[in-house]
A = this chain, B = another copy of it.
Amino acid sequence: MSKRNSKEIPDIVIGRLPVYLRTLRLLADDGRDVTSSQELGEHLGISSAQIRKDLSHFGEFGKQGTGYNISFLCNQLQKILNVDRIWPVVLVGAGSLGNAIANYAGFESRGFRIVAIFDEDSKKIGQAMGPVHVDDFAHLSRRIEETGAQIAVIAVPTHVAQRVADQLVEAGLVSILCYAPITLTTPSHVRVEYIDPVIHFQHMTYYLG
């Protein structure tokens, strides 16, 4: 669901790279040094040919018969995905979902840091949540300028999600991850992705009918 892809590699291929990276890092955590497209494919339910084809867009990462060096391939994927650095992320919504996201342990080691959390509820503003204190949503523009964040997470109720998105775009954000079950309207330079459990459930029930 790309809106742009300056490097002309299919967006669907780009979308699989983070999945490969996650799996490779889990193998590395298990003490493994080498893997194969066959093994990765079995883990992920993707054909080994597809994995080799996806990776071939970016270079030659393994040799026939010897497989992939996990640490090398992890480093290469991190460079390709630009997560060989830490990206500041702002989070809007300090409810139970926002709290869960703020306390998610897997961000920093994978390239991301929650640098600000916003809410409009005066009872929540000032409270500690994960790594930061909840800030007034009215301070959004200033805080985005201070932090240099380009990525935002929307974890607010559905009926306010579009308004929040509008203000994020106005404040200069270009990448939005939306947990509210709506399709946001945004300018074409803004990339929006969605997290919606029902999309996954409905994918599953196709096979259960």
Contacts and interface: CB of A to CB of B under 8 A. Distances in A.
- Tallying the copies of this chain within the complex gives 2
Given A45-B3, A183-B23, A193 B198 contact: no
A162 to B, nearest CB: 11
A193 B97 CA distance: 19
Given A198-B112, A202-B81, A207 B6 contact: yes
Interface residues of A, number: 67
A197 B17 CA distance: 14
Contacts of A21: 202
Given A44-B183, A209-B82, A175 B204 contact: yes
B111 A153 contact: no
A96 interface: yes
Interface string A195-209: 111111111111111
Is chain A's binding surface mostly helix, strand, loop or mixed? Answer: mixed
B203 A14 contact: yes
B198 A195 contact: no
Contacts of A195: 195, 197, 200
A174 interface: yes
B181 A4 contact: no
Shortest 4 CB-CB contacts between residues of A and residues of B: A82-B209, A97-B100, A18-B202, A175-B204
Given A5-B207, A83-B202, A96-B100, 9 more contacts: A15-B203, A17-B206, A26-B183, A81-B206, A87-B201, A104-B197, A151-B208, A175-B204, A177-B201
